[in-house]
Structure 1
């Protein structure tokens, strides 16, 4: 399989600028051969494309697209720290979905992130995952994602 950066290009995608933190944290931290990202919102050019709860103001299909955007933002944070082509394995995605009380489709929403990771990393993108429904997210975002990856030695 080609490099992750080449796979992104083949999909017609590029990594955005790293989203500026909205509080007191850094976008990503390297510990040994792992990189852990902070929660990433689906910012596009510094703005949320939508706000509100999934199953209400935000459709599940739109939220799936926002999960895809959020994982691109997480990959940008990884890239800024170590370079995306140094990722040897995606270990875990933690996805949070701001959900209406009766919405139970969180796994389908977070599939937007998981499916893109599979396209970019192939078998190395097979990961553990959590998809959690929550009452509220920062800035009234519909989704937020965290990513944990393994990287090669510096």
Structure 2
């Protein structure tokens, strides 16, 4: 697998690391990568698709997630998280994420799958049209 570049992602956001993010080995705890990925996706949805999990008739739930680590990152570095849509289905969306250190080194690759469910029945439901339209802007040519 070749290393991703920040330019491979239509959206990039910088996050500061915190002292509490480091584990006893002096680098970001694995769980922090997942927190960054979750914040990136749901923050982007809130800002760009007006997603509101407290009021929407359909919400996303995480069906699958994963992370591959390539390089260490730790406090006090800033990191950049990149986001794109790899696959946009009827009721699910698969995201690709990249985490880059403050030198632009590809430190981790994330995958994340959301399935949209009806808030009452908790059964899969089509992705709401406003959210689908926003997600289309993140879709790669091969998605």
Query: Same fold per TM (> 0.5)?
Result: no
Q: Tell me the TM-score normalised to structure 2 length.
A: 0.36
* Larger Cα-atom Rg: 2
Q: Which has the higher contact order (CA 8 A, sep 6+)?
A: 1
**TM-score under structure 1 normalisation?**
0.34
Q: Which has the higher helix share?
A: 1
- The structure richer in strand per residue is 2
